[in-house]
Chains A and B, each alone.
Chain A
Amino acid sequence: MADSATAVATAAQDEERISVASQRQLIWWRFRKHKLAMVGAIVVLLFYLVALFADFLSTSDPHASEGQRSLMPPQQVHWFDGGFSPHVYAVRGERDPITLQRTYVVDPTQKIPVTLFAKGYEYEFLGLFTTDIHLIGTEGARAEDTLFLFGTDQQGRDIFSRLIHATRTSMLIGLAGVALSILLGVVLGGISGYYGGAADTVIQRTIEILRSIPTIPLWMGLAAAMPKDWSVNQVYFALTLILSVIGWTELGRVVRGRMMQIRSEDFVTAAELVGGRPRRIIFKHMVPLFASHIIAATTLALPLMIVAETSLSFLGLGLRPPAISWGVMLQQAQNVQAVALYPWMLLPVLPVVAVILAFNFLGDGLRDAADPYDL
C-alpha cells in the first residue's frame, strides 16, 4: 500500500519534473536514454580532442621524410621488461641483394624506452606558445632509433603522426563545409518555407535537380578546375566551397519542411499581427523551435562531407600534399601491390569508418531527442 503510494508520488514528481523542465533538459534526458548515441557522442568528442591536440599526441614530425626508413612496418610496443617499462626494439634497414627491396630487421638486443611527456620536435601549442613536449616519445634516443607505431609510408614519414594530423584536417573540413551548408540550407530553405509561392517553386526545383545529378562527377569536375599553383589554404577553402555548394540540399529540405509546419501555428500569426518583420519572426520565433532539428541534420551531414573530401583527395583532385588528410594518405594505397605488401597503408580506413559510424549514431540519437514532448 505504502509502496504504491510512493510509486504514484514519484510518477507525479516525474511528471512535474518534465512539465517544468527546459527544452534543453528534455532533449538531454531523452538523448541520454539512447546508448548508441552516447557512445557516438563520446567517439566524436575524442576525435575532436585528437584534432585539437594533434601535435602534442604525435610522436614525430608528420612532414619529416627519410629515404632510409621508407615503408617500415609498424614497431610493436613491448610493455614489460622485468618491471613495467614500455619499449620498442631498434630496427635496422637492409637492402635485399637480389630483389633490391628494403627489408627491416628487428634487433631485440637494443631496447628503446618509450616515455611519457618526452621531448620531440618543436611546435606551437594551440597557437599559444612553442614547446617540444609530446605525450609519448623516445627521449634521449639516437637519431636512428625510431618510434613508428603504425609504420612509415613511401617517403619514410611516420603514419601514426600523419594519421593524427589527418584527423585534424578531415574533421575540420567537414565542419567548415557543413557550416557553409547550414547557412545556405537555412537561408534558402527558410525563404522557401516561409514565403512559399514562386520562391518556393524555384528553390525546390533547384534542390530536386541537384539531388538527381550524381554528385561525385560534379565534385570531380569542379575540383579539377582548381589551379595547380594554389596554396594549401586556397585549395582547402575552395574545396569546402565546392562540397557545400552541392551538399546543402538535404539541410534545405529539412528546414523548409519544419518551416512550413510551424508557419501555420498561431504564434506566428500573432507575431505577424503585432507587426513583426519577417526576419525577426523567422530568427526570433521560428528558428529556435527547430534548432535541434538543424543540429541533428548537421550531424548526419558531417560524415557525408568527410567522405566526399576523402574520396576527392584519394583521387588526387582534392587536397594535395603537403596537406595531410585521410584521403591524401589513402592515395598511396591505390595500388593493389602496394597494399598487399604494405597493408599498414590501409590504416586510414579505420578512422574514416569509425567517425562515420559515430556521427550516424549521434545524429540518429539527436534526431529522436529533438522531439522532447514525445517523452
Chain B
Amino acid sequence: MLNYIGRRLALGLFTVWAVSVLSFLIIQLPPGDFATTRLAELAASGNTSAIYEAERLRAEYGLDQPVFVQYFTWIGQVLQGDFGMSLDWNRPVADVIGDRLVLTMVVSVAAIIFTWAVALPIGIYSAVRRYSFGDYALTFFGFLGLAIPNFLLALILMYFGFAVFDANVGGLFSAEYETAGWSFAKVWDLFKHLWIPAIVLGLAGTAQLVRIMRANLLDELKKPYVITATAKGLTERKAISKYPVRVALNPFASSIGFLFPQIVSGAIVVSIVLSLPTVGPLLLRALQAQDMFLAGAIVLLIGVMTVIGTLISDLVLMWLDPRIRHGR
C-alpha cells in the first residue's frame, strides 16, 4: 500500500517537474526576450530611458544567462511563491491571478460532480434495461454530448439564453456580488450560477462515463453470482445495487484520471465563451499580450492543480479497491 502511494507520489512529482519545464518553455518560446518586447513598447511611446529600463530588467531576471540558469532562477522564485511581475497589468502575477484559480477548480469540480451524479444512474439504467427505448434515447443524447465540443455548446446555450429567455447565461456572479468580498451570500450566488458551466463542461464526460458504466455493468450482470443472488430471492434492486454495481464502479472511479485534465482543459475555453472569472480569459489575454510570466504561471498552476486532483482520485481509488490496496 505504502509502495503504491510512494509510486503515485513520485510520478506526481515527476509530472509537476515536467509541467514546470513546459511552462518555462512557453515563457521562453516567443522570439526575443520580454525585455525586447518591453523595449519596443517603451521606445514606441517615446521613452528615452527605455534602454536602461531594458538593461535593468535583463539583469533582474538574468536574461543574459544560459537558459537552464534562467530556469532555475525562475523555478527558485516560484517555489518561494514569487511568480514574477505581470508586464501587462504591472502587478505581481500572484495578485492578478487572485482567486481565479480557486474559481477554476470550483467550476471543474462542480462539472465532475455533475458528471458522476448523472452518469451513474443513467449507466445503471442503460445496462439493466438494455435495448429499451430509454437506453436508445440516452445513448443518442450521449453521442450528441460527445460530438458537440463544449465551447460550441456554450455558444449555442448563450444564443438560446439570449434569443429565447432574454437572459445572459454567462458569468459566475450576479452584478452586485462581482466585486464584493467573500460572504455567505456571495457563495450562494456562485452556486446559483454554477450549474450552467457545470453542465456544459460535464456533458461530454458524462457521455463517456455512461458508456463505460454500461459496458462494465453488462459484463458483471452475466456472471453467475448475480443469478445466485436473484435465485436466493433478492429483489432486483438489491441484487443489482449490492453486488454488480459495486464491482462495476471501480473502473468508473479510475476514469477521473483522464476526466479531470479533460474538464480543466475544457474549462479554459468555456470560461472565455461564458466570460467566467476563472484563469481562462486571463490566460488568453496574457498570451495575446505576450505577458509570458503570467501565462507561464497559469499553465504551471493549472498543471499542478490537475496533478493534485489526479493524486487525490488515485488515493480514493485505493481506498475503494482492495486489489490496489494490497498490491497487484
Interface residues, chain A, with chain B CB atoms under 8 Å away: 205, 208-209, 211-218, 220-222, 224-225, 227, 303, 307, 310-311, 314-317, 330, 333-334, 336-337, 339-340, 343, 346, 349, 352-353, 356-357, 360
Contact = CB atoms under 8 A, between A and B. Distances in A.
Contact of B143 (A215, A340, A346, A360): A360
Contacts of A357: 143-144, 147
- A-B pairs with lowest CB-CB distance, top 9: A225-B29, A214-B265, A221-B26, A224-B287, A216-B265, A340-B162, A357-B147, A356-B147, A214-B264
B155 A217 contact: no
Given A212-B257, A218-B22, A352-B152, A343 B159 contact: yes
A360 B145 CA distance: 12
Interface stretch (B12-20, B79-87, B179-187): B12-20
Given A221-B23, A353-B144, 8 more contacts: A209-B14, A209-B18, A212-B310, A213-B303, A216-B268, A225-B26, A315-B284, A316-B284
B224 interface: no
Interface in B296-328: 296, 298-299, 302-303, 306-307, 310
A214 B303 contact: yes
A330 B26 contact: no
Contact of A334 (B29, B147, B273, B287): B273
B261 A215 contact: yes
A139 to B, nearest CB: 36
Contact of B265 (A208, A215, A316, A336): A215
A205 B162 contact: no
Contacts of A336: 158-159, 162, 168, 170
26 contacts: A208-B11, A209-B18, A211-B258, A213-B15, A213-B303, A217-B298, A218-B26, A220-B268, A220-B284, A220-B287, A221-B22, A221-B29, A221-B296, A227-B31, A307-B149, A310-B149, A314-B151, A314-B269, A336-B158, A337-B162, A339-B159, A339-B162, A340-B163, A346-B155, A353-B152, A360-B147
Contacts of A222: 26, 29
Contacts of A211: 258, 261
Contacts of A303: 147
B272 interface: yes
Given A212-B307, A356-B149, A221 B261 contact: no
Given A339-B158, A343-B163, A217 B283 contact: yes
Contacts of B283: 217, 220
B302 A214 contact: yes
Task: Label chain A's interface by main secondary structure.
Answer: helix
A215 B299 CA distance: 10
B190 interface: no
B305 to A, nearest CB: 9
B288 A349 contact: no
B92 interface: no
Contact of A353 (B148, B163, B284): B148
B98 to A, nearest CB: 18
B25 to A, nearest CB: 8
Name, among A314, A315, A316, A349, the residue most crowded by chain B CB atoms within 10 Å (CB to CB).
A315
Given A225-B26, A334-B273, A336-B168, A217 B146 contact: no
B279 to A, nearest CB: 9
Contacts of B149: 307, 310-311, 352, 356
A212 B284 contact: no
B62 interface: no
Contacts of B302: 214, 217
B130 to A, nearest CB: 17
Contacts of B295: 221, 224
A2 B159 CA distance: 66
A41 B40 CA distance: 53
A227 B298 CA distance: 21
Contacts of B163: 340, 343
Contacts of A220: 268, 283-284, 287
A158 B79 CA distance: 53
Contact of A214 (B152, B257, B261, B287): B261
A152 B149 CA distance: 24
Nearest to A310: B149
Nearest to A340: B162
A194 B146 CA distance: 34
A144 B71 CA distance: 60
A321 to B, nearest CB: 15
B134 interface: no
A27 B283 CA distance: 46
A178 B310 CA distance: 28
Interface string B132-148: 00000000000110111
B96 to A, nearest CB: 16
Interface in B235-281: 257-258, 261-262, 264-266, 268-269, 272-273
A220 B288 CA distance: 10
Given A222-B26, A224-B287, A311-B151, A214 B268 contact: yes
